[in-house]
Amino acid sequence: MSARTEGHTSSQAAGRRPTRWRRAIDAVDERMGLKALAYDVPEHANNLAWSLGALTAISFFLLLVSGIYIAQWYNPMPEVANQSVRTIMTQAPLGAFARGLHYWAAQAMYILALVHMLRVFFTGSFKRPREGNWIVGAAMLLLTFLAVFTGTVLKWDQEGFEALTHNLDVAELIGGLGIWFTGELAPEVPLVLRLYIGHAVIIPGLILALFVIHALLVKRHKISPHPDIPPATLEEPAPFTEHLKRAGAYGLVLLGILAALSVLLPPIIGPTPVAGIETTRPLWMFWWFFPFEQWFGVSSVGIIMGGVFFALFLVPFLDRSPERGWRQRKLAVTLLGLLALFMLVVSVYVWVNNAQGH
């Protein structure tokens, strides 16, 4: 073999030799199994409607980062909690921005989780064998709802104080099941401190654990087929890593929107609470059950909330038809529409008749 041929062969061999970056990736993958993310997903999984779950997860990540940052200045003792929030807003570096991002990311997570579940409902993606994943998602939505509630209380302004008062009323009605939400569990520990632990540790930990289960079930059962695409139609498969890139691009847009809201519409904080008065209107996501206490007593609040979330958990067991398209499931879609209309009408009522609060 000539020297020239040998040089060409050596050059080819060198070209096939993995780079340091590739060797590093392979070394990490050997130990962590990262290439498991390279499984194929259908092309429709890359559109925005089917990426809402990923955007919900991104909102959760933003909440964790911003929450860890503002927690460095927050003091969960009732005597100084309100003032510590003001310190975050006025003295902590980028504190006002971080709190604004936390505030808007919480609402974004709730909206995205809700819309994601609506997409799953309308496309029948919760049907066999994915019923369990719907229940996991419903539990995550409930935890998100509780996270927003506890975050509202932690401001310890008039709105937070009134929210806690209503919570105590409902907790007393359910007896022992509600003891965690009262001061009876550990009288020496301020209730605000316990809610802070729930908000910063317990609820995020449960959401994170359920998210892992949720993701594993998606990988186990694969992305559900699109009901409008015939089964015989072959979609061009795309690697899940491509789906992550697309979701990351959507996430950057979401971050830009939340950052703009944080600057242009920063969250306010009310005065130190005064017991015995009710003057505030809660955050919009609580409006759908807000007036029932006035209409039917405090017990109705717990009944309405429990009934709505209980119905949400029952969806896979109530809608058991093999049809997946929403047009073929008229009864289920009608019932959902009636529930949504009920919640909307009550919310509009609160917006119109409680402009300044109670």
**What b-and-e string marks burial along 143-165, b requiring 16 or more CB atoms within 10 Å of the CB?**
bbbbbbbbbbbbbbbbbbbbbbe
Q: How confident is the model at residue 16 (pLDDT cuts 50, 70, 90)?
A: low
Residue type at 188 in one-letter notation: E
Inter-CA distances, 141 with 43, 60, 324, Å: 27, 12, 22
Second CATH level (architecture) for the domain 41-281: Up-down Bundle (1.20)
pLDDT digits (tens, 9 = 90+) for 303-355: 898 999 999 999 999 999 889 999 999 999 999 999 999 999 999 999 988 75
Q: How confident is the model at residue 4 (pLDDT cuts 50, 70, 90)?
A: very low
Domain residue spans of the chain: 41-281
pLDDT digits (tens, 9 = 90+) for 304-314: 989 999 999 99
Q: How confident is the model at residue 179 (pLDDT cuts 50, 70, 90)?
A: confident
Q: How confident is the model at residue 235 (pLDDT cuts 50, 70, 90)?
A: low
In angstroms, the CA 314 to CA 309 distance is 9
- Provide, rounded to the nearest whole percent, the portion of the chain with pLDDT above 70: 92
pTM, rounded to two decimals: 0.87
Q: Which two tokens stand for residue 208?
A: 């994170």
